[in-house]
Structure 1
Amino acid sequence: MSARRPQVVAFDVNETLLDLGPVRAALVELGQPADLLPAVFARTLLTGFAAAATGTWCRFRDAFDAALAQATDLGEDERSEVAGAFFELAPHPDVEPALRRLVEAGVRVVTLTHGSPGVAEAGLERGGVAPLVERSLSSEVIRAWKPTREVYLWAAGVCDVEPSRLALVASHGWDVHGALRAGLTAAWFPRAERVYPAVYDPAAIVAGDLAGAVDALLALPAE
């Protein structure tokens, strides 16, 4: 079945919507290299994905703490200070116009993360875009990590739409791949990743930026 215009668009949070700059700054203030964050963030995901793949589960914050402990000599209090910086994130400059474009077109907007509850809400409030978002969903509620199928189907159920009428927008190829495998429409655009991985299912939409991803979703046929 060809992709249809979504009734709801779900956005990934970390990196896709919110800039991780404050977390990077917290690491630097504690004497860590400025380029350490990508490796720590990748190891955080690896830890969570491994837990999910083997039938167990851990919180994002615990996975992040474990990644910091492996990559640095920071003490527990210092690692907690860095983790707390996630609540200081703010949206990228292109987020507000993209969300507003969807809302003005009559499309519902939500966020979907496996990150800590409250992070998305705090960032959206800080950026003044919270009124554009219907609700923020964290799969920590169901003890699961993206890109497992259950997360996307759970989100569709919470939003009361068929999976095919829910779209995911993310700057992470693995997230888009998971959404596609669950029957969602999905759009990828680059932030930290430069290209969409060829080993994954082809994304319904590959755009040059966030605005392009939103425009492409709105251009899909209604039926």
Structure 2
Amino acid sequence: MSGLRRPEVIAFDVNETLLDLAPVRASLVELGEPADLLGTVFTRTLLTGFASAAAGTWCRFRDAFDAALTQVSDLSAADRGRVAEAFLELAPHPDVEPALRRLTAAGVRVVTLTHGSPGVAEAGVERGGIAPLVERSMSSEVIRAWKPAREVYLWAAGVCDVAPERMALVAAHGWDVHGALRAGLGGAWFPRTERAYPGVYDPAALVAGDLAGAVDALLALPA
């Protein structure tokens, strides 16, 4: 990322990046589903949303999640709704609070950016006691779009009243960082469920070993 400057605003992806999906997994297990089903359902949820957007239509994250769950389980509509509600029980990963505190102490504005259901990020950061560290939470459902569409990142920069090049995205999903970079933002990736940043994506991404490393890399950029 040669030539780039330290971002004024850092946007964090929400599901998996900031918030642990363990309550959703636990809800599936309580209903008799295998613990590893969540990975399949989450991937299919993204596929459903991406395909809908690529085809020129749109669906809510919750509807995509419900459709994905229908494809791989025999759960009733009521039980699927119960699993979906578990997203409101998410809490931050243990490494999130120190990372956000480091950024705010350095004068960097912190926001969240998701295509997930409105309210999930807000509930999670409140539960984790880090709401005072987050300036705002944004869901692209407001503009009926899914990341990694360019319009989502540019919309977020506009909401934050900052030039795209002075904003960066931190995510544990390579496709999300790739989308941010293609929209003119900075981007940093670190692993949670993904083991490596895909080599087919934009090589301008900062790649770190963990969340703390991603924050370090962004703060190390010249002001």
Q: Which amino acid aligns with 1:95?
A: V
Q: Which amino acid aligns with 1:149?
A: R
Distance 2:221 2:43 in 1: 33
Task: List aligned pairs for 1:131-210, cutoff 5 A.
Answer: 131-210=132-211
Distance 1:204 1:68 in 2: 32
Please name the residue that 2:86 is paired with: 85
SS in 1 for 2:58: coil
Q: CA deviation at 1:2?
A: 1.9
Q: Which amino acid aligns with 2:5?
A: R
Please name the residue that 2:41 is paired with: 40
Runs of 4+ more than 4 Å apart: none
Quick check: 1:19–1:89 contact (8 Å CA) kept in 2? yes
Please name the residue that 1:21 is paired with: 22
**Percent identity for Structure 1 against Structure 2:** 82
Q: CA deviation at 1:180?
A: 0.4
Quick check: 2:178–2:205 contact (8 Å CA) kept in 1? no
SS in 2 for 1:87: helix
Please name the residue that 1:55 is paired with: 56
Which whole-Å deviations, capped at 9, do the CAs of 1:121-179 have from their partners, x for residues lacking one?
A: 00000000000000000000000000000000000000000000000000000000000
Please name the residue that 2:75 is paired with: 74
Quick check: 2:5–2:166 contact (8 Å CA) kept in 1? yes
Please name the residue that 2:106 is paired with: 105
Q: Any stretches of 5+ residues in structure 2 without a counterpart?
A: none
Please name the residue that 1:95 is paired with: 96
Size of the alignment, in residue pairs?
222
Q: Which amino acid aligns with 1:140?
A: E
